[in-house]
Amino acid sequence: MPPADLSMVGVDFHSHLIPGIDDGSPDMESTIVMIQKFKEMGYQKIITTPHMMCDYYQNTPDKILKGLDEVREELVKQNINIEFFAAAEYNLDDGLSKLIKDKKILTFGDNYVLFELPFMSEPPNLQEIIFDLQMAGYKPILAHPERYSYWYRDFEKYEELKTRGVLLQLNLLSLTGHYSPETKKVAEKMVEANLIDGIGTDCHRIEHLLQFEDNLKLKHLHQLVNQENLLNKKL
- Give residue-wise pLDDT tens across range 82-124: 999 999 999 999 999 999 999 999 999 999 999 999 999 999 9
pTM over cut 0.95? yes
Q: Between these two residues, 13 and 55, which has the higher pLDDT value?
A: 13
> Pseudo-torsion of CA 21, 25, 30, 34, nearest 10°?
-130
- Residue 29: the pLDDT is 98
List the beta bridge partners of residue 113.
140
Decide: 173 and 208 in contact? Cβ < 8 Å. Answer: yes
* Distance between CA atoms of residues 235 and 233, nearest Å: 6
- Residue 56: the pLDDT is 81
User: Which DSSP state fits 119?
Assistant: S
Decide: 161 and 196 in contact? Cβ < 8 Å. Answer: no
| pLDDT tens column, 129-175 | 999 999 999 999 999 999 999 999 999 999 999 999 999 999 999 99
| Domains of the chain from N-terminus onward | 6-234 (3.20.20.140)
| Residue 45, burial from CB neighbour count under 10 angstroms (0-12, 13-18, 19+) | middle
- Residue 100: the pLDDT is 97
* Distance between CA atoms of residues 19 and 106, nearest Å: 18
Instruction: Work out the average pLDDT over 40-58.
Output: 93
- Of the candidates 8, 57, 13, 6, which has an alpha carbon nearest to the alpha carbon of residue 167? 13
Residue 55 pLDDT > 90: no
Continuous segment of H or E residues that includes residue 140: strand 139-143
Longest pairwise C-alpha distance within the chain: 50
End-to-end CA distance of the chain: 27
Residue 58 pLDDT > 90: no
- Residue 57: the pLDDT is 85
